[in-house]
Structure 1
Amino acid sequence: MVDLIECYFRIRLNNKEILGVLAQNHNIIISIRTLKRRCRKLGLFRRRNQTDIDQVIAFMQEELRGNSQMHGYRWLHLRAVQRGLVVSQETVRQIIKALDPHEVQMRQAHRLRRRLYTTRGPNALWHMDSYDKLKPFGICINGCIDGYSRYVLWMEAYTTNNDPKVIASYYLQCVERVGGCPERLRADRGTENGHVEGMQNFLRREHSDAFAGEKSFLYGRSTANQRIKSWGGILRKQSVQFWMSLF
């Protein structure tokens, strides 16, 4: 039991969590008073034996290199604990505030910068996705843009955006209109994108570049897609046109 207490203490569980883990996983039931007494005998103190502040600062400087705006004090405190440092969250917060005041201010203002997006050129990568927030009103949106130029290749409103045949028709009409397919096409793992994947792979099957055949289609999360900056205006226009077509 002594080894278990020390192990759970080292991974920064509080007293109630240690008691719960001991009872649930090891059938060891003790009082919180007994736990505190055992911790004192083992020399386990949460506010004593703090890591030297210079060592903590050096660790924070190392972690803040690069995209430091994404590193909040709670996340950095967890990283410090995982590294074996004994330090409080408040200490970590004060260190970050001193080392990186600009990014702290940006986080407080909820103004996180988006990561830089790069691609080789026009038609190197198309981004395709659906917009479902208007589905309760019977309007299902599907769109696609060129990642390099942000040019809107199609933005269609219909009664569904889950039918693979409907999405495939958008893709084929666009390929016919622009006179070719992209080097790569990116979409999420929705079932409606299956036909488009097969068509993209077929059209690129005889190319000799690094993204030929099956490599010409890639799946990814919708949240990581390139944004359409004029999304709201395009949706309003398409929604009006869709509703007018019904009458």
Structure 2
Amino acid sequence: MAGASNSSVLSGLQCDQILSSITNTVRNVVLQLTQGNNRFQDLINRLRSCQENLDSISDRLHVTSTQEVNESIGSLVNHIEQIQLHATHNRSNHGVPPLEIQQRGAIVNYEAARIRPEKGSKGGRPKLDVTKEQLKMLLKEGYTSKDMARQLSCSPSFVYKKLAAFGLNVRKMYSTMTDEELDMKVSKLHADYPNSGQQMMKAYLEVDGAVVQRSRVRDSLRRVDPHSAAKRWSKTVKRRTYHVPTPNSLWHMDGHMKLVRWKLVTHGCIDGFSRCITYLKCGSDNYALTVLTLFVEATLEYGIPSRTRSDHGGENFFVALFMELVQGSNRASHITGESKHNQRIERLWRDVFFQVISYFYELFYHMEDDGQLNSDDPADLEALHQVYLPEINRRLTFFQQAWNRHSLRTAQHSTPNQLWLSGVLNNMNTNCSAVGNIFGNRDLAADLTQSLLHYGLSPDLLGSHDELQVAAHGGLSVTPPMVNISSERIRELVQQCTAPNLKERYLQLKEFFHMELNQI
């Protein structure tokens, strides 16, 4: 390759430098591909640049060597294109276009695409295509402009320009209500959630339709209840180290038994990665079928987790069976252990009790002390359930929505919704099974039926065996109160209650039940 003249020597050195650059680029592409880099088009473009550079020095290289190197790079390009096509095909089969995600019933294109320059143009870096729908959804989820830029792989200044072009002003999203109006809203929410701090109160206001600056929420809480604000400073929580790789890697589920004296159980489940609550509901039993129903409803919204974790309670039997059949056995699809190791959900129960359940816990004991409630009387408990259970679930649902929107100090002030969404988007083109289940095209009904038949079980197993319906929670079984009144008659009596508040309505319904039972 080297010649006698100085120019030929320089040309030879340049060839060596180009070949070295091509070699390093190919090695880097292979390394990034093995590490799960999902920017396939960028990798392909870099390899094609290598081919172009190789062609520019082909007259100074051996013909056979040039062809072999070129074919090797071409094979690598084809391999990456096949991976890209497979990832796109998996999403398209689910009815979701490429680079789109279906969340809570709405399909929105989150990851920005690049528009390649037209043929004959001056070229340059492909233009970034960011839509108004992307920015509106990210704003709705509470993303800042810098967070949007990080998610869309662009600069913050580009996001500012796009927001201005689409007429989306972040500051105009904040409510213009006066301090007096804000205090009235906060006071009303504070009555239902007296132990909520500024972060949760801000989230409650957002769920209620009012976006307010954190400083205004903090000042309002001090005006509404200064003693509670001071009390919260004295309560700290010891935190542990926790890590799972992606959303839906591990869901933690459990039952909260603080209201079990009155035959009420709170069922909850939380995603370990994002701390996003997937379901939270209070019921009158801890049947395995009840827990499975809540779990399946959550999977329809968030996808099927790779693994679940619970204690040894029998109410988790059907969920464990479901996970073993759908996700596979011998891979710890459902993990059981002591409650103290079920970290995420046990930490959540503290906030659920502190903000929601404690009010009813103290109220029901106070009603017993006043002789208004007998926990051993089925009629009293049935009246209690009919009146208070809808209110408990209303507050739990509101708490779940606010929790998923409140910022977490230990996660750079991101919300659980943001952590879940960003985690899904950042791993949507990888081989991660936890995220892949969200975009997959699985017929769960067919898979579950086939798996049951494989083990010699009937598809009608769920709900067909009474001994499996009543689940034991550490030896404790919770069943609904049994009163000798038909369901239709109970509904009629509930509609006849016209008392203005919950306690008076309970006392009225309780009297109706006892009168009805005396007539039988």
Bin of the TM-score, shorter chain as denominator length: 0.3 to 0.5
| TM-score computed with the length of structure 1 as normaliser | 0.46
**Which structure has the larger Rg?**
2
Higher helix share: 2
